[in-house]
Every structure is written in structure tokens, then in C-alpha cells.
Chains A and B, each alone.
Chain A
């Protein structure tokens, strides 16, 4: 499994010189499985730049991808109108997510409303790529050799998000970008997803020092993220969904706090790549 981070920032893009090392694009992670299937986790602004790379590598000629959406907050879908393969006729994009009572396509279509968005509406038949969509249910999703498991985890009051686990040829990745553990029961679905994975990409929106004042807002501290990783016995945790007010120096100091931890801790850095070898 080849993993590349295209967007690591939470909530809103932070295009400032102070955040260039860890990155200012909202969440998007590309996973290329051993069989060549492309699975994209979330559609933040980072998706635009992934699209540019795909098109420069021949994706326009029949390329296909699966995009899994953890939830519908802007930071996780705002890259879709600017994902160029959406406008390429020979591409096929399969969307997975949940419209919570409305069909997924209908919810995503609202982003393309002409008042807000001048990009040609690729949700209309005959415009751009072939689009298909599946509402995420309880059953695992099979994409080639990769099995994807989705579980709902606690987020903002009254809102859950999906976390995902990808198992492929003995390699495993868990992606839990937006989560807060307020009650002991909140950890159960996250532990099920992260259990023994090689790599865990996890919400660490707040520093531990800030967390008490922001409890209940829907996000974790780095300490809660690392604790979850320890409980799940993961190989490595990548702290993700950086707070828009955290510059590179703040994130450096968060990582330093875990230098002597028994868990391998890194902070998500845009363009970082991870290769999980087949076992």
C-alpha cells in the first residue's frame, strides 16, 4: 500500500508561510493499493493537487478512483469542484459516504449550485466523468484486493463521522480524521478500526494544553490520539487535522512531547509518503 498525504489541515485551508511544512490544505489522503486501485480518503482542497498529479500521469485515459467521505463538513468536501478528473469524460469516480437521510449525490450536488459554483455541474448526466455513488452501510466495501471497513465515531454534538480501516494484502491503515472521546464507549468503534494497524492517521486538532477549554467541540488532543494508538497497538500514528491556528513550530513542539513515547508518533506533513510492504 502506498499512501500520500495531500491535505492535513483541519476546518479551513491555511495558506500561510508559517504552515508550509505541515501544510495548509484540508484533508485528502491518496492510497494506491498493490493491485493499482486508487482509494482517496476525503475530498478537502488537497484533492485538487492530487487531481493535477493524476492527470499528468495519464489518468484522463480511463482512470478510475474511489473517494471515501468521512462526513460532509466543508473541509472534507470542498475540493470536489476543483478535482479536474471530474470533468474528464473517460474517468470514473465512485463516491462513498452518507447523506444522512438524503441520497449522497443529492447532498454533494448542493455544493455545485450555480449561485455558489461556476464549475460545470458534473453531477448532471453527460457532463464530465462517469460518477457513481454508494451510501456506506454496515457491510465492508471491497475494492480489488482491499477491504474497507467503516465505523461511525463521535464528532460534534449530534454529529458522527466515519472512520475507515483499509486491509490489503496483509497491510493495514486506519483513518480517523474527526473524533472526540467524551465517554468510554466512544473509543470502541475507533479501537475496532485501529486494532493492530501498521499506520493510524488520527485527529489531533488541539494541543493537550488547549483541550480542556475546547472539550465537547468534536476534536481530540494529541494526548488522546496517542493514547488510542497505544490501546490499539498500532505500528505508527500520524497526528492529523491540524488546527488552523497551529503553525509549524506549534506542531513541532507537539511531536517533541511524544519523543520518548512507547508509540511511534509523527505529525501529518503534506506530500509525505508511506509505503507499507506486503507481508
Chain B
């Protein structure tokens, strides 16, 4: 598996010289197996991915959407590849009880917000909705999706190919005390226990990340910046998880918009000192490729 980072920034794209080393595009990560291309999230980074796949003469990819917040879908209408009629895309996402996956992307391209509606894109686009815990096979890899604790319906992925495992655990408040995920089965019924759901969602993150060779982590906050209503984790939360479930490499991701390159370098250095000896630490950087 080759992992390529096309967008690493959280919340909204940041165009500023002091983030230019790590990058300002919103989330988009490519996973190339020997048998196909999987893309996770369609932030503004997907523009670069689309141009690259075009150069490689790729005609198909599977897009896994962790959730539908703007920063994870806003690049979709601007991916040139999707304007070609010889391209096919399969979009995967978690089932949302009140919105189809197709309607979510259609909504983004409705008038008066975007000049080209979804159904007028040249590419042939299929949608597959998954339940929490589903496992499916794409590009020769085994993919598992699980719900995580983030406002609305959001989840993470584990991709296994050969004897390697890659985990994408973003966006989530790993150890948060507020249940921010909505539309969980039974959660609105009398007697439902939010704390039990919080434990289950944390266990989902553990299962996704267990012994992963590379784990992309939501490290939006430093401890002193933490806000319990945002659905993001602190660097320390994932240092704990990395030790608990044994990541090979912990990859800081979904960098806060105000996080400068210099600050991020200091955070990585600090994490390297504090992580266990067996755990490598790096910060996701636009253009970075990791071979597993």
C-alpha cells in the first residue's frame, strides 16, 4: 500500500505562508494498493489528487467519505477527473437515517451554490451506504468502517491489504465526555446511556487502529486549546491510544487552521520524546508518501 497525503488541514483551507510546508488543503488521503486506488475524503486536496490520477491515466477510484462536513466534501465539485465521461467513481459513506449519500453531494452542487449539478458531471458516480461495523472489499483491500464521536454521522476506516493495515481515525473526540455523534441506534430512547455509547465509540477507534502500521489521527487540539463541543481530540489522546493498541506510526492529521509549520514541528518533536520507543511519529504533510 502507498499512502499519499493531498490535504491535511482541518476545518477550512488555509492559504498562508506560515503553513506552506505542511499544507493548507482540507482532508484528502490516497491509498494505492496494487489493485486500485482508494481516496479518503474529498476536501480541497482532491483537486491535486484528480490531476495526478489523470496523469497516471487512472479511470476509476473508490471514495470513502468519513462524513459530510464541508471540509471533507468541498473539493468534490472541483475535481477535474469527475468532468470526464470515461471515469467511474464509487462513493462510500456511512448510512445516514435522514439523508442519502447521493442527496448530500447533490445538495452541495445545487443552485444557487454551484453552476454544475451533480448529475451533469461527466463521470459515472455510484453510491454505496454502509452500516457501522461493515466490512467490504475494494481495490483488493479489506475495508472496515466504524462510527466515531463527532457531531452528526461520522466515522473512520481501517484498510487492510496483504499483511499491512492502515487506519484513518478522524474526526473524533476520542476521550470526550460529550456524546456528539447523532442518530445512533436507541440513543434517543428512554433509559439510553450516553456513557455506554461513548465507550462503544472509543472501542471503535481502538478496533480501527489496532496494530495499524500507519494510523492517521485527529490531533486538532493541544490540551490547553481543547473544546469539548467540537468533536476533535488532543495530541495526548492519540499518544495514549497509540500505546494502548500499538500503532507502528502515529500520523498527526487534521491540523488546526491556526497551527503554523513551526508550531507543528515542535509538537512532533514533543510527541517523539513522549511516544513509546516502538512508535514512530510524523505529522501529515501535503505531498508526503508513505509506503507500507
Contacts and interface: CB of A to CB of B under 8 A. Distances in A.
Interface of A: 9, 11-17, 19-20, 23-25, 45, 48, 71-74, 77-79, 81-82, 99-100, 107, 110-111, 113-118, 156, 159, 218, 244, 270
B68 A244 contact: no
A111 B230 CA distance: 18
B78 interface: yes
B13 A15 contact: yes
Contacts of A156: 115
Interface of B: 9, 11-17, 19-21, 23-25, 44, 47, 68-70, 73-75, 77-78, 96, 99, 104, 107-108, 112-115, 150-153, 230-231, 257
A244 B11 CA distance: 20
Given A16-B24, A19-B15, A115-B68, 19 more contacts: A12-B44, A13-B15, A15-B14, A15-B16, A16-B20, A17-B21, A25-B15, A48-B12, A74-B74, A78-B70, A82-B12, A113-B107, A115-B152, A115-B153, A116-B68, A116-B69, A116-B73, A116-B108, A118-B230
Given A78-B70, A114-B151, A115-B99, A159 B115 contact: yes
A23 to B, nearest CB: 6
A11 B70 contact: no
Contacts of A244: 47, 78
A72 B112 contact: yes
A118 B112 contact: no
15 contacts: A9-B15, A13-B13, A13-B15, A15-B25, A16-B15, A16-B20, A16-B25, A20-B15, A48-B257, A82-B11, A113-B107, A115-B68, A116-B69, A118-B69, A118-B231
Contacts of A48: 12, 257
A73 B16 contact: no
B70 A24 contact: no
A41 B278 CA distance: 53
A94 B19 CA distance: 32
Contact of A20 (B16, B44, B104): B16
B152 A114 contact: yes
Name the prevailing secondary structure of the B interface residues: loop
Nearest to B19: A15
A156 to B, nearest CB: 5
A82 B13 CA distance: 11
A115 B104 contact: yes
Name the prevailing secondary structure of the A interface residues: loop
A172 B234 CA distance: 49
A9 B13 CA distance: 12
A72 B73 CA distance: 18
B202 to A, nearest CB: 20
B151 A73 contact: no
A4 B17 CA distance: 18
A49 to B, nearest CB: 8
A117 B44 contact: no
Nearest to A117: B70
B152 A118 contact: yes
Contact of A116 (B14, B23, B24, B70): B70
A14 B231 CA distance: 26
Given A12-B47, A20-B17, A74 B152 contact: no
A45 B12 contact: yes
B11 to A, nearest CB: 7
A15 B15 contact: yes
Question: What are the nearest 10 A-B pairs in CB distance?
Answer: A15-B24, A24-B15, A13-B13, A72-B112, A17-B20, A15-B15, A118-B151, A20-B17, A156-B115, A12-B78
Contact of A15 (B9, B99, B107, B114): B9
A73 B12 contact: no
Given A15-B19, A116-B69, A118-B231, A74 B99 contact: no
Contacts of A107: 112
Given A9-B15, A107-B112, A116-B70, A24 B24 contact: yes
B13 A24 contact: yes
Contacts of B114: 73-74
A24 B24 CA distance: 10
A6 to B, nearest CB: 11
A70 B30 CA distance: 36
A27 to B, nearest CB: 12
